[in-house]
Chain A
Amino acid sequence: MVLAGLLVVVFWLAMLLLAPLLAPYDPLAQNVRNRLQPPGALHSMGTDELGRDIFSRILHGTLVTLPAGLAVIAFGALIGIVVGALAGYYGGLLDDLLMRITELFMAFPTIILAMALAAALGPSIQNAVLALVIVWWPAYARIVRGLVLDVKHRDYVEAARSAGAGDFYILSRTILPNCLAPALILATLDVGNAILTFAGLSFLGLGSAPEVPEWGRMVSIAIDFFDQWWMWLYPGAVIASLVMAFNFIGDGLRDLLDPRLRGK
Chain B
Amino acid sequence: MEYFDFGGGAWERMLSLLGEGPISLVSGLFLMLFVLFGAGYLILRSNQRLRTLYVVLFSLYFYFKLSGIYLLLLLFTALSDYIIGKRIYRRKEQGQRCRGWLALSVVINVGILAYFTATNFFVDSINAIYGDGTLDWEAVVKPAGVSFFVFQSLAYVIDISRGTIKPLKHLSDYIFLLSFFPKVMCGPLVRAKDFIPQIEAERLVVERKDLGRAVKLLVTGLIKYAVIAKIVGSQFVQPAFDGSLGDSGVVALMAVYGFTLQIYCDFSGISDIAVGIALLMGFRLPDNFDAPYKSATITEFWRRWHISLSSWLRDYLYISLGGNRKGSFRTYLNLFMTMFIGGLWHGVGLCYIIWGALHGLALALHKVWLKLIPNAKRFGEEMHSVWRLPATLLTFHIVAFGWLFFGSALMFPQSDMQVAGDILHRIAHNFSLADVVPMVQSSGFAIATICLGYVLHFLPKRYDRAMCNFTTRSGWLGGALILIVAIWLVMQCDAIMLAQSSDGAATMSALPMYANY
Partners in one complex: no
Which residues of B pack against A, CB within 8 Å? Answer: none
